[in-house]
Structures are given as structure tokens and as C-alpha cells.
Chains A and B, each alone.
Chain A
Amino acid sequence: MTRLAGGLIDRSQTLDFTFDGKSFKGHPGDTLASALLANGMRLVGRSFKYHRPRGVFAAGSEEPNAMVELRTGAWREPNTRATMVELFDGLEASSQNRLGSLRHDLLAVNDLFAPFFAAGFYYKTFMWPKAFWERLYEPMIRRAAGLGSLSMQPDPDTYDKGFLHCDLLVIGGGAAGLAAALTAARAGASVILADEDFRLGGRLNGESHSLDDMPATGWINSLEAEFASLPNLRIMRRTTVFGAFDHGIYGAVERVSDHLAAPGAGVRQTLWRITARRTVLAAGATERHVPFANNDRPGIMLAGAMRTFANRFASCPADRVAIFTNNDDGHRTALDLSAKGIEIAGVIDTRDGAKVFGSYPLFAGAAVTNARGRLGLKAIDVTVDGRTQTLRCGALGVSGGWNPNVHLASHHRGRPCWDNGLQAFLPGEDLPAGMIVAGAAKGEGTTHSALNSGASAALQALADLGLSASRPRLPQAEDAPTNLKPFWHVAGKGRAWVDFQNDVTVKDIKLAHLENMRPVEHLKRWTTLGMATDQGKTANVTALAVMAELTGKSIAETGTTIFRPPYTGVSLGVLGGGDTGKNFRPSRLTPTHQWASANGAVFTEAGQWMRAQYFPRVGETTWRETVDREVLATRSGVGICDVTTLGKVDVQGTDAAEFLDRIYANKMASLIPGRVRYGLMLREDGFAYDDGTCARLGEDHYVVTTTTAQAGPVYRHMEFARQCLWPELDVQLISTTDAWAQLAVAGPNSRRLLERIVDEFDLSNPAFPFMACAETTVCNGLRARIFRISFSGELAYELAVPARYGNALMERLIEIGADLGATPYGTEALGVMRIEKGHAAGNEINGQTTAQMLGLARMVAKGKDAIGAVMSRREGLAGDSRVLVGLQPVDPAEPVVPGSHLFSPGAAQTTANDLGWVTSACHSPNLRSSIGLGFLAGGGERMGEEIIAANPLQNQSVRLRVVSQHFVDPEGGRLRD
């Protein structure tokens, strides 16, 4: 029976759980690890490389061995540390990385071939033949040397995120962290105390000694009562602070419902971004072990963990145990276990003259030289003065001293420093800004010093912030030194494990040394030490010490690797921190979205926007049929399209005209109020940036429109120019894109249609000619803006009304324009008509083309300066002979494929002969063939010539005729009416 008396478990309730399909019982307060131990389960997993039988080794997040697959189906999560899983009723766990059963893993054969799997094995073995790597070696290795397996189903859980701000963040809820939080919270500072455990107290929970003559748990309980009364203190249990980032920002994952059978409607985990003015790192320390032959047998664990399992979880792996130690702390485990009725087979102490603290057999100046029992420890060999005896025991606690948890102190590349007195790496001087380390994390590990260190750290942090605080009265606590004498590994023939999870032994480190992989970074990569999911929390320092011994250097000279976030594994789901699928990113809907949706529109994504692509009608079998109809209806009657997505920037100020003259390549100051001009913006480097219309509504009031894609960047560019380039100009900018629903009304019947809705506004050619604009009202007094501009090449208008009326306006126009052939059209028809008209769009203004290439060289006005004007005249750009041309297949049945490159007939299709490329193409229902636009070297002189469009990806080669880019109405008679 390995369930002991006492402990912080609730025996009034029983929880049923299964491991590898077998049923067990535990209690609230148990972890999966403690419950398995209490049920006599020492064997819980298999090792990574050799498939060696393994058991629980630690009691916290540093656990290297006890990794399980938790839950089933889509909820299955591999590589879960059993020591961190809070037991719940109905928990289902299974062992992983085995072929066959856990007791009879067929891949344990790997262990027989161990000599072949030494350090650098992969680098040496799988080099040849190269082609075998992907097809054979990698899949084979992944199968044999894996960890848990994924469910291969979408993650069914939801995750959340949030933001917190505080004066002081305390990381770790042990003695130091509790004292720090108490000190700061009593002073009125806003404090967050985060701990990865579900119970506050840290190591205090695992110890038997008292605080002020009462059990530590009593003190913690009284603190919790006070904490509950302090609104400025936020306690975050089950919350791992995994990284220190810039400017006092810490990443933390709260396991909101991992301790429940099912999260229900709640979230599984929350990613918190904590901005702290000051931080106390009280992350405690991790015990280190002492490698000896076969030290990975199930039942061998850290002595401190064994004490925690006994005191806190009332469980023990066996009823007869031994302790192997180089310090007094190991003896504590013997005393605590003995007090719980466990038989102590002996304490093996490496120190000569070690003293006994109670009634148990002591082997001073001794070492454990071997362990027996393949699936669970049966006995150990103890060697004293060259004589070896076998000691029967079912578990062994190992204590080699404690390593401060300096991880977060290293996240800004701070390098830990070796302290020879403490025989440990301590946080260096170069901590993340605002961080103070306290307690065992800085080597102050007795309860007394941890409590005081925590309070001092809080006082210092608050003083830095100008807040006054006083030191609370802290309870009297033990302050005994551990009297550690360094002892890093037991020399001998057998394999002695240093890194359990990645199966790295002392022999591997010796081999790395022989092969000259001696610097710590090389050692790590050559042996894979510390590179498993536990990041070598129980292995790194021991490995450095072994390497130091081999090189004859001190540990300080050997150096150490440092740490990056995350402190422990973080699921990608919680890093994503929110919605998936449709709501993964926000989407923008146009003002006529409801109408379009109700009228069967097919939508397409244009950046964040959802735009109507086309409006299929009953009987239409292909999208082409629909688009052809929309184009023909527009060119023969009237078409209506929502163009709200184009950016609209309101420009006002006495210098608005001057400002726009500098922003646009062409002149805008000369535009008279009530008129619109097509404008071209260049980048600083002289390439074309964006185009659109610019309307002058008043003497000092313009509205600039941008392309949909560039609405944000152009606005930003204009703001940059206003604030940074010419702050002396009186000009004010603001985006109004969403304020107005803007509809293009295009086609020969567009005027007749608009005449039906405007309120006493003269739309006739003389009163409102091509490129006119006005503010007026429509539909009985609704304020509106009308622009006579055309992207389709037809007589056309754009009409803007407050966005909330856009949907009703669309409905109205279609309804009252039925006799005029009013037809909604989407982005496809819009694209077809602009290609037919030869207008450039994003495919042509793609950041690699110039005004000259676009045939707009004359727009770069000579009489003024503007952004990019000078650079556009530089030799390399001005000399480019490629210009925009129209392209039509010689055989009308052939397609024009965008992206194809252009070559002279007969020329080899090589880069040297490349004459340009096809930018846009569509089927033109007017020309009844495919047509395209493209940039062609010397294009102006090639009118009528044949050219080859090569599309090597699809083995296509099409003969095209070079024509004018204006396929429809080249003279522009239609739009001018």
C-alpha cells in the first residue's frame, strides 16, 4: 500500500480515472502522478530513444519522464506531464512512445543497439545516400524515436486572451513569492501573484516543518484569507509565466479548465499579456540528481519530489526506500518518510563523515553504483571504500543539490553566474529591466531566507516606484544550511543518465568531449542534451559539471547555455489566443452587403473586404455567363456596383491645394471647385504608387480617393507627409471611407436613372459635364455627393450617401431602373470593363512600374515638385521602354494568360529575350475573345505585330496581336457623352 496518511488531498471524495485502460482511484488534490504512485504504478512511460522503462521522477513542471497522452479523441494531448495534471473524475490517460504494451514495448530492442545510438548518431549515420533522408530515414526515426502522437483532428477547445497591468508581478507563489506579494499588497500597490500550481505555497506544501510553530499550510491558509480581502491583489493559480518580453511585458498561460473533465462552454486556457512596472522572480529551485549506472529505473526520483509526494500528496512509490545524497537536505526526506511509516533502507551519503539525523542506516562516504529491476526498482548497489553491497528497496530518492530557476532572468540574454559557495548558477546582473530575483531562485533557499528575501525584493521594487511599504512580520522558519559537498556523478562502466527525456548519458558527454564538441553550445547540439520538451531542467547543470570535470576546467570557465521563452511548453492554440475559421480575422462588409446577400451575390475577399463578385441568375450555369451578362447590360443599359471600398480621405486647410500638389505627380492646385481630376501618386523612388480621383469640393476642401488595397497605406503616407515632411502647411486629413456608401452607376442609361432620384439637380452635359462633382440631395432630402467619373468607359456617375442608406439606395435604383435595364454588377464585371477600357489597376500599378510604363508620363508635371518626381526622371527608370499595350489572341479561341511572359516569335524563351509580361486578362463579351493588358518592350512601335505569350508552368505558348490598350471606345466619346 503506497497511499500514506495525511497530505493535502480530500479523502471525502473519490475520483475514478484510467491509465492505459485500467481503472484507478484518487482524490481531489492529487495530480495524475501522485495518484499513479499511490496506486503502486511506478512504470509510467518509455524513454525517447532507447525505449527504457521510466517512472515519475519529479513532482513539478520539470518532470522529464512521466509524459502521457491525456484525454481521448480530438481532445487527446500528447507529452502531458503527469506531475502537472490535476486529477479529475473520469480522467483518461495513456502511456506513449511504445510499440505494444508499456510493459512489453517492442521498440525496447533499441536499448540493445545503444552503442550505435551514441552522441551525434544522426549526424554520422544518416548522411548517405542523400535521397534516403526524406523517404526512409526521417519517417523511420520519427516512428521509433517519437514522443506522443497527435489526434490529427482539429482542436475542439476554445482559447482566450487578455491584458493585465500591475505595479508588481510576483512570479511564483512559494515562500519568497508569498512574502513579496504580502508586502506589496499591504502597501496598496496593484499586485499580481502568478503560480503554475493549483495551490499556493510552492515547496512549503511539500515540507513538514513549521512556521511559527504551526504547519506551513496553516500560515498559507491565514494568508489566503488576508489576500481575499485585498482588492489590489490578484492571485492567478494554474498560471505559468512563460516568458519575459520587452518593456516589462510577461507572457502567461492560465490553465482555466484543464483541471475539469470538460471545459463546457468555457475556454480551455487564456493567454495573458501582463505589463508590470516591476517584477519579483520567485521561481524557486529545481533539485538535481546524481547520475549512476542505470539511474533511470522506475522508482528512482528526486529526493525532494519524494518528500513532496509523501507530505503533500500522501503517496509514495514503495514501502521501502533509500536515499542517495551529497547534502543534508536528502536526510530530510528520510526523516519525513520515516515519520510517515515508510521503511528507510538506508541513506547513502557521498560525504565522508556525514552525520545521521534519525534512526535509519547511514552509509557515509558511499555511492550508489548500480540499480536493479527493469520495470521497477528492486535493489541498488552501494559501494563504500571499494566494497559493494546490494540494498533491497523499491524506490530511491536522489539529491545532488538545488539549481535556482534562473530561466526568466535569462530571457533578455542575461547570463547566469556560477557561485562557488552555493555550487549553483545564480541570476547575473543583466536582468530584464525592472526584475528583482528573490528566494531559492537567487540561492536563498532556506524557508527563513526565502521569506525575508521575498519581502526585501518587494520593498525594493516599491521603493523604485516611489511607493512606501513596511516589512511585514514574517513567521519564524527553518534556516538550516544544507552543507552540500559537490558530487556530480558516480564513475563506472554502466550507462548513467544525465538527461532522461532525450536519453543522454555520461558516456555521451564523454564522447562529445573526445570528438571535440566541448563548448557548451556544441555539447548541447551534438548530444541533444537539454533539447527535449523539458529543456533539460533536471539535466543541464549536471552535464556542464561532467564536461568541466573532463576538460579539467572549473564550471565557471565551462560556462552555461541560457534560456529562451517559453519556460514550459505552450500550446499553439492558446498562442493563437482566439477565434478560428470565419472569425479568425475581422472582415469588412460593404453598405449594400445585405442587399447583395439577399440577391444571391457570390462574394470575394478583397483584403479585409467582402465584395460582391457577381450576381448569378437562375438558369446561368457558369460564372462567365453571369459576368458576360452584367458587362453587356451595363454597356447597353445601366449597371450599378458598390465601390465603397475605395479609400476616401478628406483633405481640408488653407494649404490643401499646395499639399496635394506635392502628394500627386500631376497638378491638383489648378483643379477648380466642383471638378474631379484623375491623379497619380509616386513613391519616393519614382515608381508609381497609387491612382484614383481627387475631387475639389471647395476652395480649401478636397476628397482624395485611393484604390481599395492601398486605402490604409496611402492615408498613412499622406499623414506622414503632413506631420513629418511639411508640418508648416495648414492641412488637415481624416479618413471617411466608411462614412459614405458609394455606388458606381454606369452605362448609357445612367443619367436617366439618376434623374429619377436627384432632388432638383441638373445632370445634363452642360450643367454637369464629365469630371464634375457636387454636393446635393437625393430621394427627398438625403444628403449626397455626385461625381461624374467613369472606370468602365461608359457615361457614368458615382453617387455617395451616408452609409446607413446605401442598402436602401441600391434597392431603390434597381427597382426604379428596371425599365432602363438596371443591373447590379460585381467586381468581375468591373474588372472586365476596366480591361476593355484599358485602365490600369493593381496588377499594373504593382510597385515595379513607372508612370512612363503606364503611358502616364505626361502626368508627372514638370512645373512643380512632387514626391517621386525627380527620381522618376533618373536614367534607369526613364530609359525603360516597356509600355502598357493591349493584347488579343491571333486565334480568338486561344486564351490570354496573366503572368505569361512575352517573346518575339522564334526567339528562345530565355530571360535575356524577355520582352515583358501579361498583367491582366479576361474574356471580353464585347470582343468575343480573351483580351489582356501587358507591359511590352518598345510596345508603342509594335502595334499590329504578333508576339508570343509563354506560360511554361502549363506548357502554354499563345500567339497574341499587340493592339491599343483601349479595346472599347478609344476616343472616349461615350464617357463624355
Chain B
Amino acid sequence: MTDLIPISALGSREPAKLQHGVLTIAENPDLGLASLALRRGDCAPDLGVKLPGPGGWVSGEGIGAFWIGPDQWMIEGQGRASADFLHQVSRLAPGCSVTEQTDAFVDFEITSQEGGAPVRALMEKLVNIDTAAFGPGRATRTRLEHMSVFIIRRAEDRLAVMGMRSLAGSLWHALQTAARRLNHE
């Protein structure tokens, strides 16, 4: 175990969290990420979840996956950021091209206390996505305030926004501003 002390994408020891009205936005530094791409002609490996098609996200026992391109997925390991998630995925997917992505992204998890409506209202201010067609289990890459992000609808009342780690501050500002304005603060 290394004695170097990590910092969050926003530059502090503790992950950021804030609440505006019924919406909570929390930085999730514990999410392990690895991208997985099939070699030419190969079949999808068995990771314990069925790898989803375009625009899809699935989750299973401690592992999730969303589609990021033809024969390409991002694999999520909740609570596995400090483990060597790359090698865990590589072992389950021999012969696949697996790349470490844990610190390539910052993950902000947005939760509503009052169902899906506040989540949809927030999305309308952030991303050009038809919220009616973006129910639980949908994921996409899109643009948010000139930044490239992944958006995942984890549940009616939960949305994940993943952006480039180096842009964490700007993304946090954008999410916070939108949530604050929805709450008329």
C-alpha cells in the first residue's frame, strides 16, 4: 500500500458533495474504470453482466458497463478505484484490449429525493438529450458546456455525469450552477 495520499479530482482530500433543494451532487472517487475493446472478430467476454448495445448501461454485482463505441465499453467497478481494476478486468477478459481509465474521468453522481422530474429538469439545462427517451439504463457521450461527458441514467432519480478529470472543476461549476438555478437560489 502506497504511502502517497491521493486527492480528489477537485483537489481535496474528501470528495465533494452538495445539495440544492431535492438534488444532491456527489463526487464519486471510488469508481474504478477500465475501457474494454474487442479484438477483431472476437466475441464479448463474460464479465458477469451482458455487455449492452449502443446507448445502453447495465449493472450487476459490483460491476457495470456502458457502450462507448462499436465493440467498445467502459467497465465500472463500484468501490474499486484504489484496487488494480485494470488487471481485474483483464483477467475476466483475456485477449481483449483493456486500458486503465479510473483517473481519466471524474464521476459525479446526482440523486433526486423526489423522483425523476428534478433529474429531467436538470438534464434539460445541461445536455441536448431527449429526457423522455433517456430512461434508466441509457448512457451516452455528449457535450456539456463545451466539455465531452458521459451521461448515465442509473435510475429514474439518479444520473451520473462523467467528465475528463482535468476538467473536474469546470464540470462541477456547471452542475452546481444548474442545480442552484433550478432551486431558484
Contact = CB atoms under 8 A, between A and B. Distances in A.
Nearest to B7: A807
23 contacts: A161-B125, A162-B125, A165-B132, A267-B181, A275-B128, A579-B145, A579-B173, A579-B177, A588-B164, A588-B170, A652-B99, A653-B40, A654-B40, A729-B40, A730-B39, A736-B100, A736-B104, A737-B166, A738-B166, A739-B102, A803-B104, A808-B7, A809-B4
A826 B23 CA distance: 40
B97 interface: yes
A586 to B, nearest CB: 4
Interface centre among A587, A588, A650, A738, by most B CB within 10 Å?
A738
A165 B11 CA distance: 36
Contacts of B5: 808
Contact of A165 (B130, B145, B173): B130
Contacts of A266: 181, 184
Interface residues of B, number: 52
Given A160-B181, A803-B165, A586 B2 contact: no
Interface in A768-810: 778-783, 801-805, 807-809
B27 to A, nearest CB: 12
Interface residues of A, number: 57
B99 A734 contact: yes
Contacts of A608: 167
B147 interface: yes
Nearest to B144: A586
A803 B103 contact: yes
Interface string A722-749: 0000000110101111111100000000
B129 interface: yes
Interface centre among A266, A734, A802, A805, by most B CB within 10 Å?
A734
A739 B8 contact: no
B165 A585 contact: no
A590 interface: yes
Contacts of B184: 265-266
Nearest to B183: A265
Contacts of B35: 734
A562 B114 CA distance: 48
Given A583-B170, A588-B167, A805 B4 contact: yes
Interface string B119-138: 00000110111111100000
B130 A275 contact: yes
A106 to B, nearest CB: 46
A652 B71 CA distance: 14
Interface in A621-672: 644, 650, 652-654
A740 B2 contact: no
A428 interface: no
A446 to B, nearest CB: 36
Contact of A802 (B102, B127, B133, B146): B102
B8 A652 contact: no
Contacts of B4: 779, 782, 801, 805, 808-809, 812
Interface centre among B39, B97, B132, B168, by most A CB within 10 Å?
B97
B6 interface: yes
A265 B185 contact: yes
A275 B129 CA distance: 10
A163 interface: yes
A594 B11 contact: yes
B125 to A, nearest CB: 5
A734 B37 contact: yes
B169 interface: yes
Contacts of A161: 125
Interface string A272-291: 01010000000000000000
B126 to A, nearest CB: 8
Given A804-B7, A807-B7, A780 B164 contact: no
B170 A781 contact: no
B167 A780 contact: no
B111 interface: no
A590 B180 CA distance: 27
Interface in A803-822: 803-805, 807-809, 812
B124 A162 contact: yes
A609 interface: yes
A781 B164 CA distance: 26
Contacts of B130: 165, 275
A586 B1 contact: no
B3 interface: yes
A579 B172 CA distance: 13
B28 interface: no
Contacts of B67: none
A801 B37 CA distance: 23
B6 A738 contact: no
A164 to B, nearest CB: 6
A583 B146 CA distance: 11
Interface in B153-183: 164-171, 173, 177, 180-181
Contacts of B101: 734, 736, 739
Contacts of A593: 11
A594 B3 CA distance: 19
B64 to A, nearest CB: 18
B84 interface: yes
B100 A739 contact: yes
A877 interface: no
B37 A652 contact: yes
A730 B40 contact: yes
A-B pairs with the 3 shortest C-beta distances?
A586-B170, A730-B40, A652-B97
Interface in A565-598: 578-579, 583, 585-591, 593-594
Contacts of B7: 594, 804, 807-808
Interface string A125-166: 000000000000000000000000000000000001111110
B59 interface: no
Interface in B33-68: 35, 37, 39-41
A190 interface: yes
Nearest to A781: B2
